[in-house]
Structure 1
Amino acid sequence: MAGRVAAITGAFGVLGSAVARAAQAQGYWLALIDYAQDGPTTEGALALGGVDLTDAVQAGAAMDAVADRFGGIDALLNIAGGFAWETLQEGSIDRWPAMYRLNVLTAANASRAAIPHLKRSAAGRIVNVGSNAALKAGLGMGAYAAAKAGVHALTQALAEELKDEGVTVNAVLPSIIDTPANRADMPKADPAKWVAPDDLAAVILFLASEEARAVTGALVPVTGRV
């Protein structure tokens, strides 16, 4: 993958950072995009903090900045997203559009802005992060699961839209990711059964690779032993 350019959204988070480290080890040029102003970065990377990807204009400006810096974009890795647990009866109805904006709209805006650049790549790739929880939502997971189901639908629809353009679109569907926040929220759980960020990053980067040219529209479960 040496010399390919990857734009990673949500790049300053736990999973985004793991993906960035793995991509750098494979020789990618990196653009790290996040809503946070700053965060972990890697040598030679373009760091773009303070980008609100729910805003199509900001998403477009970010992708253009990546292409201007590196001469193009080969892979868009949509890691940006958000999670909230609350029941419908006791929670706020505002949580539903908030989850949609954080998970679906960010991926849609980033993808739409990156597509013209990806079409010029010899092997354009989009990889989204869905959720295994969206296949069967549990208690308190309604808003989050509905939003991630939207990511799944976006992935499949965009794969059809771009299948004749040389751009593949796929998604990973993790279960519980082993993060400090999840460990704090579930202190009695066994994190060894969860999905390590580095393991999920490996699947994401396979889908972004030239070797995955025959895979598009796939929703790939990455569930550990949950």
Structure 2
Amino acid sequence: MNSTKHDGRIAGRRVVVIGGAGAIGEAIVELLSAEGGAVVVADHDLAAAQALADRLRRESRTAFAVAIDISDERSVVDAFREAADRLGGIDVLVNSAGMITESPIDEMSLAEWTRVVEINLGGVFLGCREVLPYLRSAGGGRIINIASQVGQRGRERLTHYAAAKAGVIGFTKALAREVAGEGILVNAVAPGPIDTGFSATLSAETLSETAKALPLGRTGAPAEVAPSVLLLASEPGGNLYVGQTLGPNSGDVML
């Protein structure tokens, strides 16, 4: 990321989007590839990732699909090796994989708690750890972790998810301090309620209450989250962001 080209975009950057076949991940892949990035769509659903990559290639974009299970260390290591081989290196990582369930604390099993934290926080740790050697080889780079406004404000019946996403924000700050001197800028994006299938496991009551409480009066769309990622990944737009959390959240959290 030491290019002197200051077009505010990411032309020529080599990007890995983990969870790239999900709703928000796909919107990120779409935008970054449209802006000239070469993108690996890394997802546990390889068929969906491959379909997206194939479509982008038909549109004369550079895109590849790689299978990844972010709860499996060996899978993460292998996925980064394959991604770097496909792209010729890595400049940008976007950690966009996640999961959510809903349970009152006294009905939540340890297995449910552990799985949600493992995917939402443990997966970010593994992705960041494994990408660092590639970013160092490239002379620097960007990491963007997708957090959530729930990790900033909390939410009843989502204690596991809130803890994990708050952890992502804290992890982002700590890692940013650790590697900024190497030209590796680590930041987060914490979307508010977004219209995706991701929240299909939540109750109708929870979804209705959420929408009504937003100052903007509506939830967001994945395409409205992706530009925050583009900003953090771009030069010179993202050059001064270190350990920050951007909040495209319809006013749910105001910092």
TM-score after normalising by structure 2? 0.82
Instruction: Report Cα offsets for 1:81-115 as digits up to 9, x if no partner.
Output: 11111111122222211111111111111111110
Which residue does the alignment assign to 1:37?
46
| Aligned-partner Cα distance in 1 for 2:240–2:140 | 11
Deviation at 1:157, TM superposition (A): 1.1
Which residue does the alignment assign to 1:27?
36
What code does the residue aligned with 1:54 have? S
Instruction: Report Cα offsets for 1:51-105 as digits up to 9, x if no partner.
Output: 2112222111111111112211010000011111111112222221111111111
Tell me, which stretches of 5 or more residues in structure 1 are unaligned?
A: none
Q: Does 2:226 correspond to 1:201?
A: yes
Matched ranges for 1:186-197 at <5 A: 186=204, 188=208, 189=211, 193-197=218-222
RMSD: 1.9
Deviation at 1:123, TM superposition (A): 4.5
Contact map agreement 1:194 1:225 (CA 8 A) in 2: no
Change in Cα spacing, 1:117 to 1:179, as seen in structure 2 (3 Å) is same
**Seq. identity, %:** 32
Tell me, which stretches of 5 or more residues in structure 2 are unaligned?
A: 1-9
Q: Does 2:107 correspond to 1:90?
A: yes
Deviation at 1:14, TM superposition (A): 0.5
Deviation at 1:225, TM superposition (A): 4.3
Q: Does 2:234 correspond to 1:216?
A: no
Contact map agreement 2:100 2:161 (CA 8 A) in 1: yes
Higher fraction of helix = 2
Instruction: Report Cα offsets for 1:24-73 as digits up to 9, x if no partner.
Output: 11000010101113113321311012x21122221111111111122110
What code does the residue aligned with 1:46 have? F
Q: Does 2:177 correspond to 1:160?
A: yes
Which residue does the alignment assign to 1:62?
79
3-state DSSP of counterpart to 1:60: helix
What code does the residue aligned with 1:48 have? V
| Number of matched pairs | 225
Instruction: Report Cα offsets for 1:176-202 as digits up to 9, x if no partner.
Output: 012145489547547961121111001
Question: Which of 133, 136, 141 matches 2:150?
Answer: 133
TM-score after normalising by structure 1? 0.92
| Aligned-partner Cα distance in 1 for 2:110–2:140 | 41
3-state DSSP of counterpart to 1:138: coil
Contact map agreement 1:123 1:213 (CA 8 A) in 2: no
| Aligned-partner Cα distance in 2 for 1:218–1:225 | 17
Q: Any runs of at least 4 consecutive aligned residues in structure 1 with deviations exceeding 6 A, and if so which?
A: none
3-state DSSP of counterpart to 1:89: helix
Contact map agreement 2:100 2:199 (CA 8 A) in 1: no
| Aligned-partner Cα distance in 2 for 1:180–1:58 | 25
Deviation at 1:174, TM superposition (A): 1.1
Contact map agreement 1:11 1:33 (CA 8 A) in 2: yes
